Structure 1
Amino acid sequence: MEKAILKLICITVLAIGNNALSHAQIFDFNKEHPYQQIFVETDNFGSSYLNVLEEGLTSIANDTVKLKVINDLAYYWHTRNLNTALEFSEKGILLAKGLGNTLWEGRLQVTQGAILLRMERLNMAEQLLQEAKSKVKQVDLPFLNTQLGYVFERRGDLGKAAEFAMETMNLGVALKDKWAIAQAYSDLSNIFWKQSKFEIGLQHGLKSVRLFKERGINDLDYGFALYVVGNNYLGTANYEKALEYYKQSNVIGERYGFYNNLADVYISLIDLYSFMGKFDEADRAGSSAIKYSKLLDNQFLLMRSWLSLGKLQILEGKYISAIESLERCLVIATDDFGDIFYLSQAYEALGRAYAGNHNYQKAYGAFEQYDKLEKEIFTAEADQRISLLQTQYDVAQKENTIQLQETRLIQQNIRQKFMTIAIVLFMMFLAMGYVAFKNNRKKNKRLEEQNLEKEYLLKEVHHRVKNNLEIISSLLALQASQLKNNTLSSAMQEIQNRVYSMSMIHKRLYQDRNLAAIDMNDYFKDLGTHVLESFGAENRIKINYGIKNIELDMDTAVPIGLIVNELLTNSFKYAFPNNRKGVIELIMEREYDGLMVLSVADDGVGQKQEEHAKNKGFGKHMIDLLVHQLDGQLTYENTKGIKATLKFKWQHP
């Protein structure tokens, strides 16, 4: 029971959110088929769906879609207000006739028949449903037969109602329509309940609920099936189970505003709470039943509400109040009231109320009416018809099972033959594959040898380029040592560092396994150590590295190495004057959308804006050219020292 309450709370919360999204989920006018049909293609919306359908009508250009929406409006308005539902069905029929669309005229007539039978206009409903049969398609017949079954059930002809339920069942099986099969089981469960055959009613009802769950749509009929199962559990005096199913039905009813199902459930809850001795809760259920019956403007439900309240008052010993409630019930149930079953119950309850109030003459008259009506409903003929139908269905199911088994045996033999053929073909392909494998193995071995040879040659090229660059670097260092001019000597040192940064790239390429990419973490550490040593600053300046699992191709690594070399050189030259100690942070990391960010930041003395603007030497021009080559963007921040940040697009090598 706690689970059911929790489910109710969750669905209520979701429904609030869903109401805001209903329009988007039901209509999308950018699509070829703009209407996602409610309770067929989706149930992901809240109780405002009828307003959404009405608003959407004005934007629908396609006549067929418009008729479909009007039909759904008509049918589902009957769960809120029968008169409004009737107006929509009339509007749809007129539109279908004007368009000459006989199919949708018939479908709307079926919907109107469903509305009329709930208004207790049973003869008009039957006539309209029979007329619609020749206009609709076979797929529409399960729904049509269900409504015809309700007409005869209301009249008390349970045998005829069962025939229509079985016809719906057979159509559902033929069409593989899970809704039709589930609905047929639900209707049979309701008929057995009316006959007080609760155990067999329960079996059919639980089958219906299982099929509705498999269908995956919480609709009006699923809510009704849950209610019928609750009724059968109530008939077996399993009150806890009955309450569980009533609450599940109410969850669906509250979410979508199914006033008819809510009224049904609250009427049954009056009886349930009465039997449990919870009279206050039964009274509250009675108030809710009357409220929803009046909102719906449904005399049938209102009659049943007063009937259940009268039964409750009899149990409480309030016989005068019970007589008043039951007389109200019978005033509503006029002479042309269709449902003899509930009419008989009303007279039986009135007889007990009169007897409790010691008015035995009126009690006798009420019981006499009850006996007369009961004989009309529970005839031996009706009972035999229902039993015969059930037997015929069971036999048909067994025949279908035998036929299915024979079909499966034939299919199994065919599968075995195919398996034999498949195994022979597989063996042939296996032999061919083995020959191809041996040939490919030889080719792969030759390719592997060629690749190793090429890899060796490529490494040798990188090795020689690295050696040549190191020779150039050594020559520059030798030349710098002989220069007495400090400016020229410093310039030569910077050129040497640049050459060294490039030689390190080639060194990495021939030392690592991957000839296409350079591990930037190791590369930057080697480069930083070299620059520190060239300036003799390894004892006073520390470089912290923040590079993890980043590899760059050679075309990207060379300009990046030169840029970092220049930025480190600038920090050593300007950030730490007078042998000042300090720290340099060298960080490279990936960002979103393939963006790479490189930053070199020192905690030195910084640089004034005008000084930074004047610094237009060769190093600055070279950095600008390299940044342009990378199609990147370089920015400087001058807070606690200088921080240079380079952002550029990067792809994995």
Structure 2
Amino acid sequence: MHRILINFDRLQSMPNWMLLFKRLTISVGWYSSRIARLSALIATFQMLALVPSSGQNITRKMVNQLIIKLQRSEPDTSRLATLIELGKFHVYKAGEVKTDLDSAMHYLHQATALSTRLHLSNEKHQAESILVIAYMELGDVQTGELNFSKLITDCRRTGDKNTEADAQYRFATAQRYITRNYPKAFSSYQQAAALYKELRNPEQEIQMYQQIAGLHADLGELDLAENEFLDVLKRYKAIKYDKLHYTYSWLASVSRLKGNFEKGLYYALQCLESMSRTQDTLSAANFYGNTAEIYMELGKRDQSLYWFKKTLQQWRQEKLPNYSLYYAASFIVQDLIGQGKTQEALRLIKNLVNEIPPVTNIQKGCIAQTFAYCYNDLPNYPQAEKYYLQAIAWYSLSGNDFEMAQKAPKEVGEFYLKRNDFQKAGFYLRKALNFSPQKNAPSTVKDIHFMLFKVDSAEGNYLSAISHFRHHKALNDSIFNEVKSRQFAELEVKYATAQKVQQIQRQQNELENEKTTRNGILAGTFLLVGLLGVSYNQYRLKQRSNQLLEAKQREINQKNQSLQHILNEKELLIQDKDILLDEKQGLLEEKEWMLKEIHHRVKNNLQIITSLLHSQGVYLKDKAALSAIRESQNRVHVMALIHQKLYQSDRLSTIPIAEYIDEIVDYLLVTFARQHSVSKRMSLAPVHLDVILAVPLGLILNEVVTNSLKYAFPANQIGSISIDLTEVAPQTYRLSIRDDGVGFPPDLNPNRSRTLGMSLIRGLSKQLGGSSTSIRSMACRSA
């Protein structure tokens, strides 16, 4: 039987900034039409950095719940938080849909009006900072910048440095990817860094410097960007920040673009190791794609395809249109074409487009490019040419400032070169070569120079042809000598060794075959002599044996008849056994179904009780009575959740306690409207508990967390609740619940409290065979 040791404690109060950016988002650009350029750029570089909490971080299911909650809410702080979340969702939702931005403006204007009525300046600033992005998304950059200026002035007047820093961060990102005003972006990043430093928030301060390094990488200043990223890495390690994989990913991509593939592979593998160690797999698809590209540059096609398939699978699970999704699919299509499976490649990209239609220009450009590969191989050159030119057009609409857009003219030039249309080939190849800033990897630039060498040679421009060939040779020697020569040498050694081993093995096999043949001949000779002797002896014994055999045959026939009778009876018994087993299986399935149905009905009945309590609360005016009703609802919900877990699970006697605790805490945070001001920190052992243990454990958790949410964080104070479930001995666990709130009144001793809540905790602890210890700093006025 499991024993539970329950431990309550409070942490020291945490500064507010720790909750401001508690979620990582892939990129602001993947959820905005104009900022979509960021998704392309980062997908091409496969570099991911931390972004402000303005990114999309709630699901459509959560949005539907927020809309229902909004319809039922009073004009209070809970309604204000809901309006801000809905506005944020619609601002950063994927696609170029004006109605989404109109909805965002509607919610955010309501939020600013309500925060003004409630005299909540910080919440008003939060809503206004997202409104700035909404205006810029709509194309009204002037209004967005004007509102931003007013917001910063008011933040400084009220001393709201946290929101000012966040607003500078958001504004810098908008200037970087919407208006492309890079000086303003640099300035806002630097101001945000200074504010975070003043707020003693080193993690966010360093993140600003990482954004500045990323901007330098965007502009093609790769040496400067690399040095800045190395400094960011050093500073992160100094503060013992463990999620270094985002910085490693940037370094891997910058190294790849500089042609240093060995270093790029090192950083890519460090990135994957850091992600695995921290279990932060939010951006796993990006990291897989980054690794795939580096292996592709190194010529390790099998490894590259392995990682491209992983990134495609990861993105496909999200069911959201994303450039990296189509980019990974493009490489897999090219591999299928190389295997002569062009029709299969064409079906793959068509099915992907039907399953997840593109929404941005760069996504459409990537798909057109992939279709061109297929039709070029079929061959259907008019269709291939059409899709190649479509890709060029789509990329031009998006700004042509990322690597794949620069590769497209190179591929179009290669297409025309193979058709001997040297004029068009030269036009597109020179276009690919003259991008500024240059984001093509050296391997791509090397190929462009070689094709221009062929074009100029065919057109009689021999001096230009020689120049291009020299550039091609210099880049090729640089890449080959620094990276691949050693690899090729290793491969040659391995190949030569394998050849020697195979040769020795063949010689040994030949010797063994000769030895076997000689031994076989000798053995055959002796066997033949022996057979002749045996045959003669058998001939003499045959007549006598025949007589004995006839007698034995009669005896055998009699025994066979007896055995046949026994076998028939056994067959009947086996059939009866199968029938009984089938009946038993049917009864077991029926019993399992009935148990699930019972749990389902119990859960429904408990929900009815919850609804009745809610209905009763509507007619109550007394706050104490309303509080009691709500606490009773929470207790009933805890028990109902047990039965819901049971009928949804294949296990009918135990439930996963980690999921159960997580859902109880989420429910209570939403019930008390504290999900935005109180964060949860969970460290739960993966253990399954019997229902008899899970119900009292859930009730204890409900009482303690409810108590913290009611009294530990007055006046909507920001804080956190930590819950740990650890194994202290076989079949023995300790549950520790802590918060960093205001603590107990000095004159209150919770161990002697006779309130309902504390009585429940002590009684349920004894029922579990455990004890409640270390009860201090826990407000228990409602317990």
TM-score (norm 2): 0.39
Larger Rg: 1
Answer 1 or 2: higher relative contact order, Cα 8 Å, separation at least 6.
2
